[in-house]
Every structure is written in structure tokens, then in C-alpha cells.
Amino acid sequence: MSQSIVSSRPLDRRRFLMGSAGALAAGAAFRFPTPAIAQPAPLKVGFMLPYSGTFAKLGKFIDDGFRLYVEQQGGSLGGRPIQFVQVDDESKPESATDNMNRLVGREKVDVVVGTVHSGVAMAMVKVARDTNTMLIIPNAGVNEATGPLCAPNIFRTSFSNWQVCEPMGKVMFDEGRRNVVTITWRYAAGQQMVGAFAEGFTKAGGKVVEELALPFPEVEFQALITRIATLKPDAVFAFFAGGGAVKFVKDYAAAGLNKSVPLYGAGFLTDGTIPAQGEAANGIKTTLHYADNLDNAANKSFLTAFKAKTGQDGDIYAVQGFDAAALMAAGLSATKGDWGARAQVAAAMQAAKFDSPRGPLSFSKANNPVQNVYLREVRNGRNELVSVAGQAVSDPARGCRAQS
């Protein structure tokens, strides 16, 4: 029986077609004793994610979620076996261009999936635009990626920083909060999330009395927590994630502030972190495009499968990785596995609609998810659904000249 050659070189359209028809023709010319059954050539996916540092668990869960989807499809998407190559971006913006160039230039990946950190994502978007590399962002919310820097080859399966925080402004005002302090890391995600919250909150009639921040990824919160105690606001709105979120929530409770100044935030404050935060997380309310107990079939089967694969409870990061693979599958299925047919791949991905574990998911003209944003509260050791804070929320995509 003849064998097709597995190549790790990226495929253009012609080589992809050669992988099947060409191999058959070659088999006929050399009179192989049995007909060749050509395997489609693999598609190379480059993960550029944090596998170390404060966001390490987030990167790992995105990776696991993506692989889970591929495994459920038997290891192929649209008929193409998937190969992986990983780069640890360490959430360091200063290394991001080199890391991206390594994946695109040296590894010659067909698509890059990454990353978590908004500052790293900004550099990735620039390289993707310059090299016309397909980029799927499975977390970083930096508004520009699907705003002024939007492009047909840049997709996001997560959220924009604006999208998940603006709805919290009205929620907190409606709960009677009038004077609020914000606290975050001083970098794109923190500033944009706090800015979006403030936009919604001031529109509703509330006032942000002080904006506190510290450099990413510092976790010396004590001075800022003391400042909150002095200011005595009605509530605090916070963005931290990963290891930093664990420490902040524990420090806040250790200072006793959780008893007097209610803590709210972007959902990352408590997603994937509750086991480490313990009782300190109880009662924290956040907005996000996911809640652990969403009562839909996709979420139930996702959580069961993720637990079986990893032994851990799935969270939003795992969902975003899972959906990144589903989005790629939509593009590949539409072209019968021809990733080189880029215009058709991109059109099919933009038109994709699926029942995600997060609920209904579709994509805007700027290639950003259109999705529900949920108000959740930490109860019983999980982020439980309280209400839908925004139905089918779409990022305004400010500055994006909409794709055709």
C-alpha cells in the first residue's frame, strides 16, 4: 500500500490539492499494487499562549479546550489532521513580535491561536496584518484587534474589553451603588475594562471617585486596599485575572473589606480561580460571557468532556479555546479542508453560528463574537448565573472599517 508523505511545511492551495489528487495520479503512474488512499496533509496550528507566569493556567486551559474539540472530531478538522506547535509567550509584550515571527517564519504555521494578554495580542495583530497570517484570538480583549486594527484574517472567539464590562455599569447603578472606586493592572486590558465600566456607570448616573492601578503583573495590593478603606466607596469594580486575581480577592477579604465594601468586577476576577480563592470569593458579583451553571446542552456536555480529559472543571478560557477550534472547523468544512482558499474560509468563519457552552455565538463584521453577557455571583464554589446583563451584545468596533 502506498503512503502519502506527511510534510510539516505549510500548504498552499495547489499543494493541498496535490496531497489527494496528485498522490492518486502518482500511484497510477508508478503502478502501485493497490490503489493509494491518500491522507490529507496536516494543518499546522501554532499556539502562542502563556504557559508560565500569572496567566499560565489560562493558557493551559485554552490549549486543552482547543485540543478537546479536535479530539472530539477524531483529530481532524474539515478532513485535515491537526498538528500543534507551542510557544510560551510568558505574557511579555516585549517578546511578542519575535515569538510571532518564529511561528510564522520558522515554523511556518497555517494559523496562529493566541493569546491571553492584551499587550501581547497587539504585537501579534500587527505581525498577522503584515504577513497576512490567519490569527484567532482565544482570550485577549484588546479593543483595537476588532476595532481600528480589524482585518479579514483576524478573528476573536473571546470578547472585547469593552463588551464584558460596559453592561456592569447599569447593573451596579441599579443595585444602588453611586460612588465607586476602580482597581486594576495598568495595561491595555485593565484600562479598557475599567474605561468601559465607567462609560456604562456614568451613563447610568454613577460616579467613579478614584481609579487605582498598579503595574502588571505586580500583586502588592496592600497600599491600594488601605486607600479603598480610607475612601469608603459604595463598592469597588476590579479587573485582575489568574494568579493576580487569586491574591487580590484573598487580600481584600483578609483586610475585612468584603464585609463593608462590596466587590464587583469583570468575570475574570473569579473565573477559574475560585478553588484557590476559597471563601474569600463568596458573594463577588461579576459580568462575563459565561457562567458555570448555564443550563444548555452544549455547556453540560462540554463540562463533562473537559473534566474527563483533564480532571479539572472547565471555565471561560477552556470554552474560548474549544470555540476557536469550532470556528476553524467552520472555515475548513466550507472549503472541504482547503485552508488556502482564504476568502471562502474567512467568509464561512464570519458567518458561523453555533451553540457554544456560553450560549448562542455568532460573529460581527469585525470578526468579534456577538454573545450574551451574564451577571454572575460566586455561590457554592462556582460562578452562578444571576441574570442576563446584556443579550447578544456586540462590540461597537469603533474605528473598524467594516469588512465586506
Which residues contribute to the site for ligand BEZ (CB under 6 A)?
55, 116-118, 139-142, 189, 241, 268
- If the CB atoms of residues 320 and 372 are measured against ligand BEZ, the closer one turns out to be 320
Which of 117, 127, 121, 98 minimizes the C-alpha distance to 59?
A: 117
Distances (CA, A) of 68 to 65, 81, 226, 277, 327: 5, 14, 44, 27, 14
- In the complex, what is the shortest distance from the CB of residue 165 to ligand BEZ, in angstroms, rounded to a whole number? 10
- In the complex, what is the shortest distance from the CB of residue 242 to ligand BEZ, in angstroms, rounded to a whole number? 7
- In the complex, what is the shortest distance from the CB of residue 123 to ligand BEZ, in angstroms, rounded to a whole number? 13
Q: Where on the phi/psi map is residue 132: left (φ > 0), alpha (ψ -120 to 50), or beta?
A: left
Which of 141, 128, 134 minimizes the C-alpha distance to 340?
A: 134
Phi, psi values for residue 255, rounded to 5°: -80, -5
- If the CB atoms of residues 110 and 271 are measured against ligand BEZ, the closer one turns out to be 271
Q: Going by DSSP bridges, is the β-strand pair 80-88/76-77 parallel, antiparallel, or unpaired?
A: antiparallel
- In the complex, what is the shortest distance from the CB of residue 68 to ligand BEZ, in angstroms, rounded to a whole number? 20
- If the CB atoms of residues 141 and 206 are measured against ligand BEZ, the closer one turns out to be 141
- If the CB atoms of residues 268 and 339 are measured against ligand BEZ, the closer one turns out to be 268
- In the complex, what is the shortest distance from the CB of residue 121 to ligand BEZ, in angstroms, rounded to a whole number? 7
- In the complex, what is the shortest distance from the CB of residue 159 to ligand BEZ, in angstroms, rounded to a whole number? 8
- In the complex, what is the shortest distance from the CB of residue 118 to ligand BEZ, in angstroms, rounded to a whole number? 4
- If the CB atoms of residues 20 and 115 are measured against ligand BEZ, the closer one turns out to be 115
- If the CB atoms of residues 285 and 289 are measured against ligand BEZ, the closer one turns out to be 289
- In the complex, what is the shortest distance from the CB of residue 158 to ligand BEZ, in angstroms, rounded to a whole number? 8
Planar angle of CA 214, 183, 241, nearest 5 degrees: 80
- If the CB atoms of residues 16 and 240 are measured against ligand BEZ, the closer one turns out to be 240
- In the complex, what is the shortest distance from the CB of residue 21 to ligand BEZ, in angstroms, rounded to a whole number? 43
- If the CB atoms of residues 197 and 268 are measured against ligand BEZ, the closer one turns out to be 268
User: Is residue 29 packed enough to be buried (19+ CB in 10 Å), middle (13-18) or exposed (0-12)?
Assistant: exposed
Classify 95 as helix, strand or coil.
Answer: helix
User: Is residue 138 packed enough to be buried (19+ CB in 10 Å), middle (13-18) or exposed (0-12)?
Assistant: buried
The sign of the torsion formed by the CA atoms of 386, 387, 390, 392 equals: positive
Cα separation of the two ends of the chain: 47
Planar angle of CA 159, 164, 169, nearest 5 degrees: 160
Euclidean distance between CA atoms 325 and 40, whole angstroms: 18
Give residue number: closest CB to ligand BEZ.
189
Q: Going by DSSP bridges, is the β-strand pair 263-266/285-288 parallel, antiparallel, or unpaired?
A: parallel
Q: Where on the phi/psi map is residue 59: left (φ > 0), alpha (ψ -120 to 50), or beta?
A: alpha
- If the CB atoms of residues 20 and 118 are measured against ligand BEZ, the closer one turns out to be 118
